[in-house]
Amino acid sequence: MFDPFVWALALIALLSLFGYSIGISMLVGSIVFLAGRGFDTSIASETLLQGLFNSYTLLSIPLFILAADIMNAGSLADRLLRFSQAVVGRFRGGLGHVNVFSSLIFSGMSGSAIADAVGMGRIIINMMTRNGQYSPSYAAAITAASATIGPIIPPSIPMVLYALVSDTSIGYLFAAGILPGLLMGLVLMAMNAFIATRRNFPRDESVALRDIPVTTFRAVPALLLPVILLGGIYGGIMTPTEAAAVAAFYALAVSVVVYRSVSAGQFFTTLLNSARSTASVGVLIAGALAFNYVITRQDVPASLAGFIQQFDLSPIGFLLVMNLLLLVLGCVLEGGAILLIIVPIFVPTAQALGIDLLHFGVVVVVNTMIGLVTPPYGLLLFVVANITRQPVGAIVRELTPFLIALLGALAFITFVPDFVLFVPRLLGYRG
């Protein structure tokens, strides 16, 4: 029997297996569904155009991508690493701590795990492996693990996507990610300290105390970006989308005027790279918008909610099931696809169970970030493997302790919603 929905799902899976982007696959599957049901296939294009052009929120994505690319093209990453080394580099396993600490800082600027790994990661990996103090696979592992913090601490491109499908406040979502992001950084640094002690990693050359003020002063223009962004958003001066524009302009001004590290040619290349990244995300969003229409017509959320209610799950039980599901899906699906396709199906159920959507959003985003470092298809694994020329298997072995630490942080975030909601409530959240 011909079921258009089943055929659409099968076609999406088949096209994905043959290497087509998930966005294109969803568009094709949606058109097949509409044609099979006798609907006008132009509904697919109308739905995605309305979704793309009527969402002011989505404008922030290309701007945050551009800001991150400009920072990677200039010397901001290098100066931030020197500052991080001055702060935490004096301890045993110090460059590992620098790796995590610099990710915490950079995450307040880029909102992208890939941007963190490609920009800061490339520099810190070279620092860690230069004198043979750390193996390339260990440097790659801790770089991949620390890059997951990027989209948790604001700004965050995945949180913008979650806000799109859940209709929650981006400003409060950003605030909800601050403490969980710091917790992830803390557990990764603790694990690095534990491993450094067991393996007797050397103490790295520390920055002299008299040099710290100079190093800090040189990094101040870059360090001010998170302050400007968060201060502007939570001070009511600008929306998150406007803040993204300010971030891109500020990164360009600092790189060109203050640090003088970006030439006209580099800026043009940066624009091209940002356009390619934006187009890739745009196709994914377009496909998800069209396929979400299919899911709605098929009444999948209501059917799934009814199925889950049969098991009489408590809110914590539901979150545990979601964690398991998202961690498994993260092994085979890209995070953006999970946020745009899978999560909207479960949002109504979470609401019905009384789960705060800010808390649910942070749990979901943390899961998708952990998915970036889980084999076989963790995207960050391939990014750092390409940088270090190490086998993915060797990186995964070194990554396992850090993955356990991140799962521990995820468990705490899941079971203690007040921890996630503490900062949003300070800013007036009443959900």
- Residue 104's pLDDT is what? 84
3-state secondary structure the chain: CCCHHHHHHHHHHHHHHCCCCHHHHHHHHHHHHHHHCCCCCHHHHHHHHHHHHCCHHHHHHHHHHHHHHHHHHCCHHHHHHHHHHHHHCCCECHHHHHHHHHHHHHHCCCCCHHHHHHHHHHHHHHHHHCCCCCCHHHHHHHHHHHHCCCCCCCCCHHHHHHHHHHCCCHHHHHHHCHHHHHHHHHHHHHHHHHHHHHHCCCECCCCCHHHHHHHHHHHHHHHHHHHHHHHHHHCCCCCHHHHHHHHHHHHHHHHHHHCCCCCHHHHHHHHHHHHHHHHHHHHHHHHHHHHHHHHHHCCHHHHHHHHHHCCCCCHHHHHHHHHHHHHHHHCCCCHHHHHHHHHHHHHHHHHHCCCCHHHHHHHHHHHHHHHCCCCCCCHHHHHHHHHHCCCHHHHHHHHHHHHHHHHHHHHHHHHCHHHHHHHHHHCCCCC
> What is d(CA 313, CA 319) in angstroms, rounded to the nearest whole number?
9
Contact 385/391 with Cβ under 8 angstroms?
Answer: yes
Torsion, CA 288, CA 294, CA 298, CA 301, rounded to 10:
20
> What is d(CA 1, CA 88) in angstroms, rounded to the nearest whole number?
64
Q: Where are the domains of the chain?
A: 41-426
Of 350, 352, 375, 367, residue with least CA distance to 407:
367
Structure tokens at 278: 């934006």
Structure tokens at 242: 């406007």
Tokens 């008299």 map to which residue? 210
Of 143, 179, 142, 177, residue with least CA distance to 157:
177
Q: Is the confidence at residue 254, as pLDDT, over 70?
A: yes
- Residue 412's pLDDT is what? 97
Name the phi and psi angles at 92, rounded to 5: -60, 135
The fraction of the chain above a pLDDT of 70, given in percent, is 92
Q: Is the confidence at residue 1, as pLDDT, over 60?
A: no
Structure tokens at 376: 């076989």
Structure tokens at 34: 């509409």
Q: Is the confidence at residue 421, as pLDDT, over 90?
A: yes
Q: Is the confidence at residue 16, as pLDDT, over 90?
A: no
Q: Is the confidence at residue 146, as pLDDT, over 80?
A: yes
Structure tokens at 367: 């899961």
Average of pLDDT values for 340-346? 85
Residues 248-269 as b/e (b if ≥16 CB within 10 A, e otherwise) read: bebbbebbbeebeebeeeebee
The model's pLDDT over 114-131, given as tens digits with 9 standing for 90+, comes to 777 776 777 788 778 877
- Residue 312's pLDDT is what? 76
Mean of pLDDT over the chain? 83
The model's pLDDT over 149-188, given as tens digits with 9 standing for 90+, comes to 988 988 888 898 899 888 898 889 999 999 999 999 999 9
Query: pTM to 2 decimals?
Result: 0.82
- Residue 278's pLDDT is what? 83
The model's pLDDT over 190-237, given as tens digits with 9 standing for 90+, comes to 999 999 888 888 776 666 667 778 777 877 887 787 788 778 887 888
Contact 280/21 with Cβ under 8 angstroms?
Answer: yes
> What is d(CA 237, CA 380) in angstroms, rounded to the nearest whole number?
35
Contact 165/413 with Cβ under 8 angstroms?
Answer: no
Count other Cβ atoms within 10 Å, centred on residue 11.
Answer: 18
Structure tokens at 246: 């300010």
The fraction of the chain above a pLDDT of 90, given in percent, is 22
Bigger pLDDT: 168 or 54?
Answer: 168
The model's pLDDT over 350-409, given as tens digits with 9 standing for 90+, comes to 988 899 999 999 999 999 999 889 887 777 888 888 888 888 889 999 999 999 999 999
The model's pLDDT over 91-100, given as tens digits with 9 standing for 90+, comes to 777 888 888 8
